[in-house]
Chain A
Amino acid sequence: MIDDTIRDVTERPGTHRRRWTTIVSVIGVLLIAGSLGFKIFEPVQVLPRIRLAPGFIMTDQHGDQITSEDLKGSVVLYTFTYTNCGDPCLAPEPTVAEVRDRMGEVDLGGVDMRFVTVSFDPTRDTPGALAGRADEMGADGDEWIYATPSYQQAKTVIGAGFREWYEPAADDTFSFDPTLVLVDGWGVVRGEYRYQTLTSDVDRIVHHLDILGEEIRNSHGAASLAYEAAHLFLCYP
């Protein structure tokens, strides 16, 4: 009896210690596993679906019509400029060329990538002028297209639709914001690049194309639920 009592008294603190050690160990293991899981699987990120890209008909450097419907199903990077933009000019083409050269880093799951440089100077930017500029920049007219809407449609498509600000000046030049607009295969704007940040536009765009590619590749089956949930919870880069 006395022995039992002594054993009880001496074992109680040990039992408590073991219990606490177990609890702390389990919490520790869970924390480590959680951190590792977070690092290994990384939370899903998506690009926001901002708004609808405008519908349009434009004329390309070959004199052919190109419409917004022709580009559905492709991921498109739109840029805006005019061929008479002298020096210095905030021309977007070097950025486009660099993104195009880095497309090997991105897997869009078999979806085509297109580049469309839109002129807001339809009066002077005839197909011939656009073709000359396209040749200079190495734009083939299929992957990288130069195009311009009609004079009547220019403000609606470029200004209201793509929200690109431009204004003609008295000396036949234009003031404009160098803007790039990323549009997905549904014709939905997924990215807008309006100003320089510490990360170059090229790095940001390539990174965003990578994220878009992930979403495209996981757009079917159970995985698509995780990506739709990421849209719901605004898991944006």
Chain B
Amino acid sequence: MNSVLHPDRGGVITRRRTGVVVIITAILAAGLLLPRLRPHTFNGSVMQSNTPAPSAELTSDAGRPLSLTDFRGKIVVVYFGYTFCPDLCPTTLATLDRALERMGEEADQIQVVMITVDPSRDTPEALARYLDSFNPGFVGMTGTPEDVAEVATVYGVYFEADEGTSESGYLVNHTASLVVIDQQGYLKLVLPPLIGVDELVSDLEYLV
């Protein structure tokens, strides 16, 4: 009736409704898109190194020569620890295992490597046994004390033998940060010791 008496009014109302719908749709779309457009905040220090990460040519837990460059194409998470480690190493390795489990199929693109800081006791066999108990996909690396010391130094890791309990013989104090190398072999990220599963998953998923 109105539209007969005021032929233009129906059009105005329709245009207004269309405008309101467009604005609401735009707000909803922005609400959905903005969190995705927000840059990822890493939980560690992001590197912009223009030289590839040191190769670390050592011996694998299978007793074969192995270098970190052999994992090119994967994201490599490097941790320096040892099998007699009472608390920090098992906690970190368990966190890494839970993070990979949470990531599902994406975890196939991640390689966890533990380089021992106790090469005298950590034979390839001991390393393999120890790491298998956390995740059969984890790889261990060892070598002569000199080679291990050199690799640790260039990865910013210090370690020294310390007094321990009679069971362990001695403990090894060591840097417990995680170092992440990207698919192209560049140092990408340094993560703090004892990082949580959520933070780890968030950063690794972003890198994948």
Mostly, the A contact residues are: mixed
Neighbour of B190 across the interface among A50, A52, A67, CB < 8 A: A52
- Docked complex Cα distance between A234 and B187 (Å): 16
Chain A 160-178: CB-based contact to B (< 8 A → 1; otherwise 0): 1100000000000000000
User: By the criterion CB–CB under 8 Å, are B48 and A228 in contact?
Assistant: no
Interface residues on A, range: 20 to 34
Residues of A within 8 A of B198 (CB): none
User: By the criterion CB–CB under 8 Å, are B157 and A49 in contact?
Assistant: no
- Docked complex Cα distance between A156 and B179 (Å): 20
Instruction: Report the minimal beta-carbon distance from A178 to chain B, rounded to whole angstroms.
Output: 22
Residues of A within 8 A of B41 (CB): 224-225, 228
Instruction: Report the minimal beta-carbon distance from B1 to chain A, rounded to whole angstroms.
Output: 38
Q: Which of A20-63 contact B (CB under 8 A)?
A: 48-57
Neighbour of B158 across the interface among A67, A186, A225, CB < 8 A: A67
Count of B interface residues, CB-CB < 8 Å: 27
Give B50's nearest chain A residue, CB to CB. A50
User: By the criterion CB–CB under 8 Å, are B46 and A161 in contact?
Assistant: no
User: By the criterion CB–CB under 8 Å, are A48 and B187 in contact?
Assistant: no
Give B146's nearest chain A residue, CB to CB. A152
Tell me which of A48, A49, A234 has the highest count of chain B C-beta atoms within 10 A of its own C-beta: A49
Neighbour of B155 across the interface among A49, A55, A229, CB < 8 A: A55
User: By the criterion CB–CB under 8 Å, are B187 and A55 in contact?
Assistant: no
User: By the criterion CB–CB under 8 Å, are A156 and B150 in contact?
Assistant: yes
User: By the criterion CB–CB under 8 Å, are A55 and B48 in contact?
Assistant: no
Instruction: Report the minimal beta-carbon distance from A233 to chain B, rounded to whole angstroms.
Output: 11
Residues of A within 8 A of B165 (CB): none
- Docked complex Cα distance between A185 and B45 (Å): 10
B175 CB–A CB distance under 8 Å: yes
Instruction: Report the minimal beta-carbon distance from B80 to chain A, rounded to whole angstroms.
Output: 9
A68 CB–B CB distance under 8 Å: yes
Q: A156-B153, A161-B153 are in contact. Are A57 and B160 (CB under 8 A)?
A: yes
User: By the criterion CB–CB under 8 Å, are A55 and B152 in contact?
Assistant: yes
Give B49's nearest chain A residue, CB to CB. A51
Tell me which of A48, A51, A225 has the highest count of chain B C-beta atoms within 10 A of its own C-beta: A51
Neighbour of A231 across the interface among B38, B48, B158, B159, CB < 8 A: B48
A187 CB–B CB distance under 8 Å: yes
A-B contacts, 5 of them at CB < 8 A, read A49-B45, A156-B154, A188-B47, A228-B39, A228-B42
* Given A53-B156, A229-B39; 5 other pairs, CB 8 A cutoff: A51-B187, A56-B158, A157-B153, A228-B41, A234-B48
Question: Which 3 interchain pairs have the tightest Cβ spacing?
Answer: A55-B158, A52-B156, A55-B157
